Amino acid sequence: MNSVDTALCDLQMQRSARAHGCVLNVAFNLQTVQLANAQLTSTLNSLLAEQASSGSGLTFELTESGLPEAPATSLETLVRLRMMGCRLSIDDFGAGFSSLQRLCQLPFNEIKLDADFIHNLAHEPRCRAAISSTLALGEALGMSVVIEGIETAAQRRELLALGCTQGQGYWYARPMAGVDLLNWLQRRNHGKGTDE
């Protein structure tokens, strides 16, 4: 299945979730070579029109390590995606080598902090400081911060105490097929979720 087919399947699942009263943001990993594709935004516009969806329900994730490789022409694609209402996320933040200057230059509106920080939170005080600093940086830059790799209730409590409002990881749910995800969303939407 190519990336267009994958995007179409995900948008169809998003539309099904919406029909059942569930809001579902769909995130896609975006490779540097895809970002340089001049047809990316026009193809995406066509898919969104087909599925009666808007860009606001999509997040495109680009790894921090891929940012230095991104040619200057890719900035135009990033700006177009933002103009379409899409969210742009720097994935695995803290694991790569990009500078804070690059973070300020590119039109991202979300930072996904690498899971290694949460895995070492309990026994490494510097990880707590890095998480707190990233949360403060995100707030100062007007960017949301998502903490990756939350696996336990204790980790979730610690992150809430630090001011984290968004996270992902096995504590919330394991990866699942689209049909299972729709069922899981419906159960949560009807008050039967366990991660409130």
Q: What is the pLDDT of residues 92-143, one digit of tens each?
A: 887 766 567 777 778 899 999 999 999 988 889 999 999 999 999 999 999 9
What pLDDT digit, counting tens, does each position of 60-92 carry?
998 866 665 666 668 888 999 999 999 999 888
pTM equals 0.83
Q: Extract the tokens encoding 163.
A: 């001011």
34-66 b/e (C-beta count within 10 Å ≥ 16 → b): ebeeeebbeebeebbeebebebebbbbbbbbeb
Answer yes or no: are the C-beta atoms of 20 and 185 closer than 8 Å: yes
Instruction: Give residue-wise pLDDT tens across range 20-70.
Output: 888 889 898 888 788 888 888 999 999 999 888 899 999 999 886 666 566
Q: Point out the residues that are catalytic.
A: 148
Q: How far apart are CA 103 and CA 89, in angstroms?
A: 11
Answer left, alpha or beta for residue 56, where phi above 0 means left and psi between -120 and 50 means alpha: alpha
Q: Contact, 159 vs 147, CB < 8 A?
A: yes
- Cα dihedral 142, 60, 10, 22, rounded to 10, equals 0
What is the rounded CA–CA span in Å between residue 120 and residue 45?
Answer: 41
